[in-house]
């Protein structure tokens, strides 16, 4: 297993990372990426085992509900969580490949074991550029709008294309490349799944992010603590050897990967949503007290709404874990009906919870002076004086609350978190599709008839 420092050293491999028009020479020291690297390094140190024969349990498939619960709840850092999601996706897909493409399933299991042995981190690459979304991959004006195989050799394949929205891509070691959807019979070249190292020739990662670079970061505590860049990952004629290929040409199996990813992305996404829902309810209570409004009826009701929201999400996660299913390999996976329901409610109701929080906070959410104004000897004491709220709360404390709430709800970070809650693990419609397919509507119809003494339909 690697320590945090060894992880930092492992990123100095010549990878081609770009940000705001410039190539990044070293992600470990670059002001935009160093914070993410540091957070991941802390995660490495949290679970480090000095035993030379020890293996990271991060990629270990859960074999019981208790192990699944621990895996869902114990996330050392964001990159580790994404790595675990990616590995579980591959292992789940391997079960579905066993009958038709056993070599692909074997490659998956060997690949995950190798990543575990070397204690690497892997991120998922699924969403293609897509071009004209009214057209299928094979019908696009530019055939590279979806990632595809452009050459097959005896020792592997060459792929070309792009994957979008790849969280933590610049600071990972490996890229899990999978089809974005179910492919048609004539789309075999697009039915490719494989593992690609970040430093492979032809891989270029162009990054976007929300970390404030020209302001006092004290005014943006969430961005400062939880920044996550997203890579526009380009595969510019990248060679993939046979042992790293999981699927190649079997269009009817292409959806197995996206389906598997949806399950594991949603369970971890729901767990993070619960934490955020509790944090938002906590901030609502804190700012109401600081403003002296904690006993106002409509504010108490809004905080109650937020508490109910967090509790419903937690109950759905617990239901998904308690009703987990065992796959043919013995791996235990969360129940998709409860996971998709929880993710849908969490994403669709987040805007209302945000509105409640903003309404409770009031106008100073937007107009509170900066933290730097507290440092100015001419304005500091005056800002503190006039930011005082209820008697027990000083002006500096209240100012800090406002900046935290602003960053959580209306800054670039707040907007990012709002969109991410909608799109991660598929949009709202994708979760509704899974929910509809997993809900036992036949049982519901039978119950409806039986409730009024009817024996059959029609």
DSSP-derived secondary structure for 321-342: HHT-EE-TTS-EE--HHHHHHH
> How does residue 214 score in pLDDT terms, banded at 50, 70 and 90?
low
> How does residue 456 score in pLDDT terms, banded at 50, 70 and 90?
confident
User: What rounded mean pLDDT belongs to the chain?
Assistant: 92
Instruction: Tell whether 287 and 187 lie within a shared domain.
Output: no
Instruction: Tell whether 17 and 159 lie within a shared domain.
Output: yes
Residues near 218 by beta carbon (within 8 Å), at least 6 away in sequence? 224, 371, 372, 403
User: Helix 297-322 to helix 336-361 angle, to the nearest 10 degrees?
Assistant: 160
In which domain, by residue range, is 409 found?
256-446
pLDDT score at 210: 58
pTM recorded for the entire structure: 0.87
Instruction: Tell whether 84 and 159 lie within a shared domain.
Output: yes
202, 235, 253 - which closes a domain: 253
Instruction: Tell whether 200 and 332 lie within a shared domain.
Output: no
Q: Report if residue 455 sits inside a domain.
A: no
The predicted-structure confidence for 344-367, as pLDDT tens digits, reads as follows 999 999 999 999 999 999 999 889
pLDDT top residue among 334 and 75? 334
Q: Report if residue 49 sits inside a domain.
A: yes
Give the residue from 16, 7, 57 showing the smallest Cα distance to 36.
Answer: 7
Largest alpha-carbon pair distance within the chain? 83
Phi, psi torsion values for 3, nearest 5 degrees: -85, 175
pLDDT at residue 373 is higher than 60: yes
Secondary structure letter of residue 186 according to DSSP: T
Instruction: Tell whether 262 and 212 lie within a shared domain.
Output: no
The predicted-structure confidence for 309-338, as pLDDT tens digits, reads as follows 999 999 999 999 999 999 999 999 999 999
On the CB side of 451, how many CA atoms lie within 13 Å of its CA? Answer: 6
Map residue 237 onto helix, strand or coil.
strand
Residues near 448 by beta carbon (within 8 Å), at least 6 away in sequence? none
Residues near 135 by beta carbon (within 8 Å), at least 6 away in sequence? none
pLDDT score at 212: 57
Q: Report if residue 165 sits inside a domain.
A: yes
Residues near 7 by beta carbon (within 8 Å), at least 6 away in sequence? 37, 40, 41, 44, 121
> Encoding tokens for residue 6?
């060894």
pLDDT score at 215: 66
């Amino acid at each position: 297993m690697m320590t945090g420092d060894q992880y930092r050293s492992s990123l100095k491999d010549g990878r081609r990372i770009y940000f705001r028009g410039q190539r990044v020479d070293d992600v470990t020291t670059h002001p935009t990426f160093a914070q993410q690297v540091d957070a991941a390094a802390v995660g490495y140190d949290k679970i480090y085992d000095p035993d030379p024969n020890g293996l990271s349990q991060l990629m270990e498939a859960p074999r019981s509900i208790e192990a699944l619960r621990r895996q869902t709840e114990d996330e050392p850092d964001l990159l580790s969580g994404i790595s675990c999601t990616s590995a579980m996706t591959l292992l789940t897909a391997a079960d579905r490949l066993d009958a038709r493409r056993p070599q692909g399933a074997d490659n998956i299991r060997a690949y995950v074991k190798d990543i575990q042995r070397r204690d690497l981190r892997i991120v998922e690459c699924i969403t293609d550029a897509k071009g004209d979304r009214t057209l299928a991959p094979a019908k696009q004006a530019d055939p590279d709008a979806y990632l595809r195989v452009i050459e097959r050799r005896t020792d592997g394949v060459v792929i070309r294309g792009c994957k979008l929205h790849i969280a933590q891509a610049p600071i990972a070691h490996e890229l899990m490349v999978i089809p974005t959807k179910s492919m048609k019979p004539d789309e075999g070249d697009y039915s490719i799944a494989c593992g690609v190292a970040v430093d492979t020739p032809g891989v270029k990662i162009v990054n976007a992010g929300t970390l404030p670079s020209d302001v006092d970061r004290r005014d943006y505590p969430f961005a400062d603590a939880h920044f996550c860049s997203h890579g526009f990952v380009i595969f510019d004629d990248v060679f993939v050897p046979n042992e790293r290929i999981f699927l190649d040409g079997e269009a009817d199996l292409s959806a197995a990967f996206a389906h598997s990813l949806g399950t594991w992305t949603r369970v971890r996404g729901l767990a993070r949503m619960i934490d955020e829902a509790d944090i938002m309810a906590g901030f609502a209570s804190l700012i109401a007290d600081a403003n002296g409004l904690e006993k106002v009826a409509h504010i108490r009701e809004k905080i109650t709404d937020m508490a109910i929201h967090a509790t419903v999400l937690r109950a759905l996660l617990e239901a998904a874990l308690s009703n987990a299913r065992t796959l043919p390999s013995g791996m235990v996976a969360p129940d998709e009906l409860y996971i998709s329901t929880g993710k849908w409610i969490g994403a669709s109701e987040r805007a209302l919870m945000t509105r409640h929080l903003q309404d409770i906070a009031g106008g100073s959410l937007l107009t509170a002076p900066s933290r730097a104004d507290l440092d100015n000897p001419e304005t500091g004491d005056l800002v503190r004086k006039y930011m005082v709220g209820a008697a027990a709360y000083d002006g500096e404390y209240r100012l800090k609350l406002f900046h935290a709430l602003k960053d959580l709800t209306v800054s670039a970070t707040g907007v990012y978190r709002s969109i991410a809650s909608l799109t991660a693990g598929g949009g709202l419609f994708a979760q509704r599709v899974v929910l509809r397919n997993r809900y036992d509507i036949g049982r519901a119809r039978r119950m409806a008839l039986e409730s009024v003494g009817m024996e059959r339909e029609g």
